[in-house]
Amino acid sequence: MMIAVLKKLFLRDLAKLKTEIELYQDEKNIWRIDKQITNTAGNLCLHLIGNLNTYIGAELGQIGYIRDRPLEFSARNIPRAELLRGIYETSLMLADTFGKLTDKQLDEEYPQEVMDVKVTTGYFLTHLAMHLSYHLGQVNYHRRLLDN
């Protein structure tokens, strides 16, 4: 049951991320930095795509994804359509990977040491869902504040 819950939450929040990126009235504002906001919505989107493809896709789904984390925060002016394609492909990967996970795997140790301690896969997936939600909130705030 927990696998279904996690899958639903990840897909829900990726759908919300897609909506947030689509809602920008001016596509240039996706990459805007202003006031004390140092991460653009575009960089946060790339970061979430990279994070999920690394820790769920590459590690649990064995998709062969290679992450370039510095690029997630240094890239600029990637077209909205490319960001949306990344979200879509990440959603497909999540649906496929969660479709293959077992309840037994959730109780097993996550294959990588993360957060400087060993944790179960279920714990780490919950952490990743909260990480997604946290950055989704930042994207929403960024859009409402800077897309005027």
Per DSSP, 65 falls in state -
d(CA 47, CA 29): 17
pTM of the model: 0.96
Q: Where are the domains of the chain?
A: 1-12+39-107
- CA-derived radius of gyration, the chain: 16
pLDDT tens digits for range 96-136: 999 999 999 999 999 998 888 899 999 999 999 999 999 99
**Burial code of 44-76, b = ≥16 C-beta within 10 A, e = fewer?**
bbbbbbbbbbbbbbbbbbeeebeeeeeebeeee
Residues in the chain: 148
pLDDT, tens digit, for every residue of 65-102?
Answer: 999 999 999 999 999 999 999 999 999 999 999 999 99
